[in-house]
Amino acid sequence: MKSWIVVLVSFLFSLLLVLNPVWGQDQALVIEGGTLIDGNGGAPVRDSVIIIRGNRIETVSRKGQVSYPAGARVLQADGKFIVPGLMDAHAHYSGYMAEMYVNHGVTSVFQIGGGGRAGLMQREAINRGRIPGPRLFLAAVSLEGERIITIRRGEAGLRAGRAIRTAEQARAAAKRNVEMGADMVKIHRGPPLEAYRAAIEEAHRAGLPVVVQPLGPTVYAREAVLAGADILEHAAGVGYSIVRDPSKWADWGSIEQHSLDPTIYVDMDETKAAALIQLMVERNVYLEPDFVCKGRGLFTGPEKAAEYELQDHRLLINPALRYIPRERVMKWRKIYHEFDDWSQADRDRRQQGLRNYMRFIRQFATAGGKVMVGTDVSSWAVPGIGVHHEMDMMIQAGFSPMEVIVAATRNVAEGFRILDRVGTIEPGKFADLVLVNENPLNDINHLQNIEWVIKDGKVIDRTYHAYYDPVFAGLGVERRGVAEKLQEQTFQKDPTWAFGWPAPSILSISPDVVTEGDPTVTVKVGGAHFTKHSLARFDGKPVPSRFVSETELEVTIEANRITRPGTYRFTVTNPEPVQRSEWGGGTSNPARLIVNFRY
């Protein structure tokens, strides 16, 4: 899967760690001079000195008040401004986003949607320095209710078993997150109130925060807050909880789009809004508004849309970013034109809802509520630069630059219960900092004028690398729903194969994770329409297989094929002629196997 160029680059990078002490963990790093904006919201400190040893901040002081460790590397920061590493409180992270995030000063990312085992492996590899990227904090498995299960991609019958319907199921799912090592518990829309309560109780018992998207049919923002939720992503469910006439919005939350749509705020009841704000402030609930997600191509006016679109364009035309999936780039480019064919009346109505929404978030903050910066990457913003757009949107909503910086640093860390590790520039915390050349308190967009990003105590190389390999690109069976439908339609009691071989499909592989350097492994591939003539491929090359039955193959992966970490694909191909070629031809849907690092 990896070319000799990638292997050579990996070797040279390892050699650099040995030969260049700047990259080593032992040499101290001193940031001398500069104005410190530490993330706590207090007055900036001029002529600061920050001493970093290893990956931790050791000392925060002033020029002339502290001695430097012998042999320390000194970064002269006079005239610059220092802020904590920025954070994206709402992301659906993929490995290809690593450079875009860190190069824009975003050193911590919160994977809300449930990263699964692949996400946990990715988190560990980043933390151990085996792959680059921002710090990852994630939910392992999202708790989804029947409402979202039954509408997602038309796979109701295939996914219904995953729906959380009872308190017992919710408690078990929350425990599973804890056991897997998750950093939070996420509850999607749909579960009943008793399930919310059980999952929240279990998560809090383990010291984990609970992130929720309460969009009905029985639990909205107010009910979720009373159940003990910590963070409302998208500020979800708030709109329904404060409308004048809920009967006019009875189906709100029935589709995913409603979590992204501010239109409901056109019907905002000011009295209900004030009461909900008071409740959320009393319960110390954090709101993550996703202005860039809710506004998209409308934002606060066409000039902002044009500005953000141009910034995205300038980034995405970089040829070194060719490793980003093409379909993702196309999706990002469409963000700004989603409403082009809407009537002016519909556009005006949505923009009015957005203005009311921004005003509500500002009122919440004025009352003492805490707001987080998040973007809902990957669908609705470009990684990294999207965080800067979100911060600029907060300015449009009436926040001060200092409030925005706190919302992008301390508030996120505090809300996710990791303020003891990140979020501010203080002794004992991870050394994640951004140094910029102009004062962000004069203009929040000055945070884009970056001189250095320091992550985990190291000065980051902020160039993009065309050879970058994300290593972990997902786990499990791709296009599973298609495979199951194919099986349902073609696997009959009396199939007629006289007109050709059946189209194969893969439903499972076991094991789906091995470790670099493991001995030869036998992988059981489950599915449908396997034959004695089926050909299995691993990473595009044929591998030995044994026909067990029409629903199972045993595939042998030799030790020399699993020596390098990465994500590798399995497929099964049946010989020609293929019956019903419109069902995938002769090759199955892919399944992915991960070769993990050996630590």
Q: Label residue 529 left, alpha or beta by phi (over 0 means left) and psi (-120 to 50 means alpha).
A: left
CA distance 356 to 360: 6
Q: Label residue 490 left, alpha or beta by phi (over 0 means left) and psi (-120 to 50 means alpha).
A: alpha
- Determine contact, residues 235/89, Cβ cutoff 8 Å: no
Rounded alpha-carbon distances, angstroms, from residue 99 to 16, 138, 382: 19, 19, 12
Quick: pLDDT tens for 360-400: 999 999 999 999 999 999 888 999 999 999 999 999 999 99
- Determine contact, residues 123/480, Cβ cutoff 8 Å: no
Give the residue carrying structure tokens 């506004």: 295
Is 26 in a helix, a strand, or coil? coil
Backbone angles phi, psi at 135, to 5 degrees: -60, 135
Rounded alpha-carbon distances, angstroms, from residue 334 to 325, 444, 565: 15, 26, 34
**pLDDT at residue 19 in the model:** 38
**pLDDT at residue 499 in the model:** 62
Handedness of CA 203, 204, 208, 214 (dihedral sign): positive
Backbone angles phi, psi at 547, to 5 degrees: -75, 120
- If DSSP states are collapsed to H, E and C, what string results for 348-375? HHHHHHHHHHHHHHHHHHHCCCEECCCC
Residues in the chain: 599
The pTM (predicted TM-score) of the whole model is 0.90
- If DSSP states are collapsed to H, E and C, what string results for 130-160? CCCCCEEEEECCCECCHHHHCCHHHCHHHHH
Question: Which domains does the chain possess?
Answer: 476-596 (2.60.40.10)
CA distance 189 to 253: 8
CA distance 124 to 128: 6
Query: For residue 566, what are the β-bridge partners?
Result: 595
| Structure token digits, residue 207 | 């010291």
- Determine contact, residues 279/365, Cβ cutoff 8 Å: no
**pLDDT at residue 17 in the model:** 40
Sites in the chain below the pLDDT cut of 70: 1-26, 147-161, 481-499, 579-585
